[in-house]
Amino acid sequence: MNLRKLKPLTNEYLDSIGFVWHTDEDQTSYIANEVIEITEEEANAYYEAANELYDMFCEAGDYVIENNLFHELNIPFNLVDIIKQSWEDDVHWHLYSRFDLAGGIDGKPIKLIEFNADTPTSLFETAIIQWALLKANNLNESGQFNNLYEALKDNFKRIITLDSDVEKFEQYYKELGWKILFSSISGSSEDENTTRLLQHIATEAGFNTDFEYIDKVEFSDDGIFANDKSFEFWFKLIPWEDIAIDESELALLLTEMIENKKAIIFNPAYTLMFQSKGFMKILWDLYPEHPLLLETSFEPLEGKKQVEKRCFGREGANTKIINADNSIDVETDGEYEGHKAIYQEYVDFPQDEQGNYYQAGVFYAYEACALGFRRGGKILNNMSKFVGHIIK
């Protein structure tokens, strides 16, 4: 692995563009002042892998729905209907997502770790910060696998055209005039500013947009309302499983809205299937020994080093790395113990000379469109660092 040290972006600059979560609790910078050097071939391999994986997820999604495997995936029962409805109607467009991958920069094969399909983090970092880091160091800012900003702009247009051709957007939008409301929870600057970045991109794409915290949004049989306006589209940076567990009445209301064609929600409810780590067991059943996959089961794997994690868990919580002799290598606690466990074959992440581990994140918006990395320990958590890249 080759790392290139750079002059860091100042906190004042990061604050000025709305990236205010730049310093971790231990007062160290969340953004690494170095980038990983990769080759054009490595960038292309990440691109091809993410595209192939997305096609596999879509085929497996059909299989899950046809066979009613929602319980296996730990999907809350009160979201099953809205998942089915959003899957069957093309207007429920998948806006963006992120694949977490091992390998790819160390001569080892790329392997899927999980798919953040509903509310992926690191969007601001990947689309804006790593690009700005190159620019600030007088490097070619286009020398990255990073088209996330433009890919999102085009994909916003596709929620109107429902087509690869985004040139029809203005014609269709002039006739429809549909508006998008963007919502996050209050009190989280990261969630809010990430949501506002997406709102800015949608506005640039040509939409009439607005923002409101979710606790101030009104939901009824007639649709979604905020700031004395009704909205046909709603983007929420709130996980679907949280809505199901914490806001069961809202889950029912949103289901009725989708059924009655009163609103379209991003990301769609079916992305919760993809988000479930249990989905990787379905993939392994359908594509056994596929070179991009790791063996995954709902039962412990025999005689193999493996990772135990929860179908719905975040930031490395409730995760164990279990050695082949069943001893525990490392484990974390957390608030997701109540969710179903899966067992995934262990694979080493690339390491630098200091022993830090690196996981690749490839964003997908209609196609694979950007790469970034996270650096940390064997189990990446909320203290992991974001590391950009440059193509040599």
The low-confidence residues of the chain, meaning pLDDT below 70, are none
pLDDT value at residue 106:
82
pTM of the model as a whole? 0.96
Round to the nearest angstrom and report the end-to-end CA distance of the chain.
Answer: 12
pLDDT value at residue 155:
96
pLDDT value at residue 163:
80
Domain ranges of the chain: 2-275+351-391, 295-345
pLDDT value at residue 221:
86
pLDDT value at residue 171:
79
Q: What are the Cα distances from residue 230, in Å, to 160, 180, 234?
A: 18, 9, 10
For 166-191, the pLDDT digits (tens) are 888 887 777 778 899 999 999 999 99
pLDDT value at residue 126:
97
Residues facing residue 112 across a β-bridge: 101
| HEC per residue, the chain | CEEEECCCCCHHHHHHCCCCCCECCCCCECEEEEEEEECHHHHHHHHHHHHHHHHHHHHHHHHHHHCCCCCCCCCCHHHHHHHHHHHHCCCCCCCCEEEEEECCCCCCCCEEEEEECCCCCCHHHHHHHHHHHHHHCCCCCCCCCECHHHHHHHHHHHHHHCCCCHHHHHHHHHHHCCEEEEECCCCCHHHHHHHHHHHHHHHHHCCEEEECCHHHCEEECCEEEECCEEECEEEECCCHHHHHHHCHHHHHHHHHHHHCCCCEEECCCCHHHHHCCCHHHHHHHHCCCCCCCCCEECCCCCCCCEEEEECCCCCCCCCEEECCCCCEEEECCCCCCCCCEEEEECCCCCECCCCCEEEEEEEECCCEEEEEEEEECCCCCCCCEEEEEEEC
